[in-house]
Amino acid sequence: MDSEKKIIFSGIQPSGSLTLGNYIGALRNWSKLQEDYSCYFCVVDLHAITVRQDPAMLRKRCMDTLCLFIASGIDPVENTIFFQSHVSAHAELSWVLSCNTYFGELGRMIQFKEKSQKHSENVNAGLFTYPVLMAADILLYQADLVPVGADQKQHLEIARDLAVRFNNAYSETFKVPEPFISGVGSRIMSLADPTSKMSKSDANENGYILMLDEPDVIARKIKRAVTDSDGVIAYDESRPGIYNLINIMSACSGITPEQIVDTYEGKGYGDFKMAVADSVIACLEPLQKRYNEIRNDKTFINEVMARGDEKAAKAAYKTLNKVYKKVGFAPKSL
């Protein structure tokens, strides 16, 4: 990777199978960044266990996620693709940053409040300190930019605050990362509740399309998508259901929302939903084919993992060693 390029860090949790929203809002955009930036793309498996996971299923989803990164067009040679848990510096820096994070800062985090309500039987310390680990993820790699959605801006602010706080206390150590906001198609909403973001953790399986869903499953879910009662195809945010379907079709086909409205004006929702399903199926078909090739090639996967872990660890420990020296820990050898 070119050291003169700005550095981007981003990650996705393997807490569920990845959705069309993950692809359009993140993975596809990541593949467009790799020529202009030095990119670290991480499967953030440590974050996943803030919610109780089935170990065998988590292990499978970790591997699935890694393979979907590559199937989405992310080059594992030009970029650093790795598992968070394979680089222990993430947990080590998280502890140092925890000792520089205020309790009140974490208590104000919106996601902590939301997840505490959703998982009231397991409100653990990891869920509370999650943003500190996220800050460690970013700061370890001296990231200049972090692709974020609206729901992650608050976490990036903590990372920025901690970088500034540590630099002021111990001298210049971390870059202060800036948000990288992607453009059109970055927010795909639930098919069942178009006022909420499409999420792999949605209890209603009809609310999301998985990247690996079969064509008939995709068609069935879109056919059941919530719209409204008047049957008008208009690109209008006040009609969130049809607005979301137009955005999905536009993102998958490359056709503008205005062109879609012109084409389907006066036609029924049934015909339009069929066209949306066809565009999603066509968009995901080559990705699914590539995924199946990768997932069945254990030699290739092992090579990707070894290369990514090594590159990530080298960069991470360069930062962590500086941090340990700054805070006053004894050197490992004299």
- Active site positions, annotated: 115, 197, 200
Tell me the residue type at 298: K
DSSP result, 215-255: HHHHHHHHHT----SS------TTSHHHHHHHHHHHHHH--
Tell me the residue type at 22: N
**Residue carrying the six token digits 């000792």:** 99
Nearest to 37 by CA among 174, 122, 116, 146: 146
**Pairing relation of β-strands 145-147 and 178-180?**
parallel
CB 132 within 8 A of CB 108: no
* Cα Rg of the chain, angstroms: 21
Please give the helix or strand (H or E) that residue 61 lies within, else none. Answer: helix 55-71
